[in-house]
Amino acid sequence: MFELIVNILLFIFLGFTFFTHVLEAAVPAKVTKNPYALQPDVWPKTIIILLEICLIINIIQIIRRNKGNPEFTLAAFAKSIPGFLKSRLFLGIVIMVGASLLLETLGFIVTSLLILFLYGMLLGEKNIPRLAIASVCITLVLYIVFSGMLSVNLPRGTIGFLRSFALFLESVVGAVKGIF
C-alpha cells in the first residue's frame, strides 16, 4: 500500500510541476525568433510526461499484483506507519530534507560533508575518523568535478566564513584549471 500511495503522490506532484513550473518558464527572445530551435521547456515536459506514463503503468501493476491481498488495505498501511518512522529509510529522508533546507545557508561544501557523514553513520560505520576523512575526500572530489571540470556554480552559503572558504576553494580550483 505504501508503494501505491507514494506512486500516486509522485504522479500528483509531477503533474503540479508540469502545469505550474515548466509551462511558466521564461523563453529567451533569441530562442523564440528561431523557428528551428527547441524551446527550453521541451525536455522537462518530455521527461515529466514519460515519468507520468511510467507511474500510471506502475500503479496499475501494483493494484493487479495485490488484488485480493488482505494486507493491501489502508488499515494495514496505518499500522505500518510507526515502524516506518523508526526505519533507516525515514532517517535518510530526514537527512536529505534537512540538507535541502540548509544548502543555501551552509553552502555545498558543508552540506555535502554533513550528508556524507550522517549517511555513513546511518549505514553503520563505526570508525568515525575514517568516516570523516572519507566525507572530506568525497566532498572535495565532487566539488572539483562539478565546479572545476563542469563549471557548475555550487551554492557558497550565506554565512561569512563559509562563503569565504568556498570562494577560496573556487580560486584554487580556477588556478589549477588554468595550469592545465
The whole-angstrom distance between residue 40's C-alpha and the CA centroid of its chain comes to 21
Total-model pTM: 0.65
By CB atoms closer than 10 A (0-12, 13-18, 19+), residue 155 is middle
Question: In angstroms, rounded to a whole number, what is the distance separating the alpha carbons of residues 145 and 162?
Answer: 20
Residue pair 138/123 in contact (Cβ under 8 Å)? The answer is no
Which pLDDT does position 175 carry in this prediction?
77
By CB atoms closer than 10 A (0-12, 13-18, 19+), residue 169 is buried
Which pLDDT does position 20 carry in this prediction?
80
pLDDT tens string, the chain, 180 residues long: the values are 878 888 999 999 999 988 887 655 566 677 677 777 776 677 888 899 999 999 999 999 999 998 888 888 888 888 888 988 999 989 999 999 999 999 999 989 999 999 999 999 999 999 999 999 999 999 989 988 888 788 888 888 888 888 888 888 888 877 777 776
Question: In angstroms, rounded to a whole number, what is the distance separating the alpha carbons of residues 124 and 129?
Answer: 14
